[in-house]
Amino acid sequence: MRIRNGILGLTFLLLILLLAPQMALTQDASLSCAPIIDQGFAQLQENCDGLNNGAACFAFDSVTATGDSALSQPGDVANLSGIQTISTAALDPTNEQWGIALLNVQANVPAELEDQGVRFLLLGDVQVENAVAPENTMEVSEPITVTTMVGANLRSGASTDARVIASVPAGTELQADGLSRDEQWLRVFEDGSIAWISRSVVAGEGLDSLPIWGGESRTTMQDFYFHTGNGLAECDGALPALLVIQGPQDIPVNLRINGVDIRLDSTIALWITPDNEMSLMVLEGSAQLGGLSVPEGFTAKAPLSEDGRSVTGAWENLRAMTPGERAILMPLENVPAEPLNTNISIPTEEDVQQTLAALSASNIGEAHVGSGAADCSRFRPTSPLGGIAFGTTTFYWDAALGADNYRVNIYNNNGTQVGTFMTNSANTAFSADTSAAGIGDGFDFTWEVEALVNNQLACTSSRVAVLREAGTTTVGTGGGQPDNVGGGGWNP
């Protein structure tokens, strides 16, 4: 009897040991991440509120940094100039650990907006590394008051080719904070917008002391590398590892991220997928990835090199956020607004549908199916859907399965075909010269893409109406004069 009882006892013990891992997994899966997320966001507000431009804040356990500046405990603040890398720990509710850090990066934001830099919010397993070389690091100076000597144009760039965004009369005072690379244009901040004005039409002292904007010169962390972990913690309401970047309202921000120039308006989220792809999601506003425009509530991704420090292919898979992705990101709406520029809002299904409707409204006509040798059911243009550059524009579309090459056609406002470009491959992106030399003069254009099989037309997309930036013609409004008077589920 004792032997039997001993065998039963041993069997019971083995059963417990075998079931223990499954019991532990079940217990972990039932954990809620809400308490630690709420605690982390509360500490973010307490420790980082009022963070100055050019600074980093240790918000919540645990954060490490390399360089001359130290971040050793929550509440520590250090100058970005002394930080080479900053890393935050993965979300771990069992051990009550979650790294949160906040950076306030100057980037190209005017110094006048002292309380509205570019916020980098590191959540979970994230590392950010400064890529601005010391010799290229630009220090932003206080603006200098200049006065227009004649009526003049304010432009979107430092060139007479750039779009005119406003005109000002003689005697207008402007705040200039930088020079163009050729030092012939001044960057000014006027009526809440960044603009450029010809240096020859203004008077002011000490302009040669202003920093040069453009080229390789950037402020600290305006060029950076980043990496994130992937997957979700074993708890309800978990947030993935994310780098959230938020610029000031209505001020376009220029960044170079893992070797890619990105222009954003408001708030984006970035992460690295398990397939080593950089994924970008626009939470508010929009983002420009070369020639690809990503609207609010949409996402796109691009493959990375083995070391993760450069993009090795085109941005692709531009699509709307899924309901599952939006649900997982909902805790971001609880991030307090005080350390940021504004609250974070996750796009709703209604927002996404409105964007889709607006994109559809920009199309002219219907797609046409030709030979039937390709699957044209999902064939459509995806970018650009609003504007093209006075220079090089990259066109993107969703594939027609079976097509072996494509042809992009561009038409002017009279419906005359002014450009046609062959891809000579099955790639769904093509860069074309959209300057006056490439497609002629004018501002209003439409474009379409044709799918070909064995050089035979298989299907034609709908046409998309786009506006082109101003060319070499000087345009003045409101009495402005020419610029040279007197001398732009979680499945990432």
d(CA 263, CA 265): 7
The verdict on 257 and 316 lying in the same domain is yes
Question: Is 265 or 408 the better-scoring residue by pLDDT?
Answer: 408
Domain CATH code at residue 99: 2.60.120.1440
Q: Mark whether 179 and 162 lie in a shared domain.
A: yes
288 pLDDT more than 90: no
Domain boundary among 175, 190, 209: 209
Confidence band for 428, pLDDT divided at 50, 70 and 90: confident
Report d(CA 449, CA 378) in Å as an integer. Answer: 13
**Cβ–Cβ < 8 Å for 190, 109:** no
Q: Are residues 267 and 191 in the same domain?
A: no
> Do 316 and 374 have their domain in common?
no
pLDDT digit string (tens) for 352-394?
Answer: 888 777 665 555 555 555 555 778 888 888 888 877 888 889 9
Report if residue 476 sits inside a domain: no
Domain annotation covers residue 420 = yes
Each residue's pLDDT tens digit, 316-348: 888 889 999 999 999 999 999 989 999 999 999
11 within a domain of the structure (yes/no):
no
CA–CA gap between residue 226 and residue 280 (Å, rounded): 12
Q: How many domains does the chain have?
A: 3
Q: Which residue bears the tokens 């030092």?
A: 183
Q: How many CB atoms lie within 10 A of CB 193?
A: 15
pLDDT of residue 362: 52
Specify whether 175 is located in the same domain as 278.
no
- Name the pLDDT band for 6 (thresholds 50, 70, 90): very low
User: Most distant CA pair in the chain: distance in Å?
Assistant: 112
Residues 452 and 336 in one domain: no
pLDDT at position 182 over 60: yes
Give residues with Cβ within 8 angstroms of 219, minimum separation 6: 54, 105, 106, 107, 108, 132, 137, 138, 139, 140
More confident residue, 166 or 486: 166
pTM for the whole structure = 0.70
Same domain, yes or no: 124 and 236: yes
Selection from 17-21, 97-101, 310-314, 468-472 with the highest mean pLDDT: 97-101
pLDDT at residue 487, as a whole number: 36
**Residue 340 lies inside a defined structural domain of this protein:** yes
CB atoms within 10 A of CB 348: 12
Is residue 125 domain-resident?
yes
Amino acid 366: pLDDT? 52
- In 3D space, the residue among 27, 220, 41 whose CA is nearest the CA of residue 124 turns out to be 41
Verify that 152 and 109 share a domain, yes or no.
no
Q: Residue range 446-452: average pLDDT?
A: 92
Q: Which of 353, 384, 402 is the last residue of a domain?
A: 353
Task: Specify the CATH number for the domain of residue 151.
Answer: 2.30.30.40
Flag whether pLDDT at 491 surpasses 80: no
Within a domain: 250 = yes
Residue 290 has pLDDT above 80, yes or no: no
Residue-wise pLDDT tens digits, 60-74: 989 999 999 889 999
- What residue numbers bound the domain in which 48 lies? 34-131+220-353
User: Is residue 244's pLDDT more than 50?
Assistant: yes
Does 321 share its domain with 242?
yes
Identify the CA nearest to 251 among candidates 194, 174, 166: 194
What is the sign, positive or negative, of the torsion defined by CA atoms of 395, 399, 400, 403? positive
pLDDT of residue 3: 41
Q: Is 18 a member of any domain?
A: no
Structure tokens at 343: 């609250």
pLDDT digit string (tens) for 41-66? 999 999 999 999 899 999 998 999 99
Of 353, 388, 406, the residue at which a domain comes to its end is 353
Average pLDDT over residues 241-265: 92
Q: What is the CATH number of the domain that holds 425?
A: 2.60.40.10
pLDDT of 29 strictly over 70: no
Q: β-strands 164-168, 126-130: how paired?
A: unpaired
The answer to whether residues 181 and 58 belong to one domain is no
Residue 440 within any structural domain of the chain: yes
Whether residue 152 contacts residue 168, with contact meaning beta carbons closer than 8 Å, is answered with: yes
Task: Give pLDDT tens digits for 202-231.
Answer: 999 999 999 888 777 899 999 999 999 988
- Burial of residue 382, with CB atoms counted within 10 A of its CB: 0-12 exposed, 13-18 middle, 19 or more buried: buried
pLDDT at 69: 85
* Residues 205 and 231 reside in one and the same domain: no
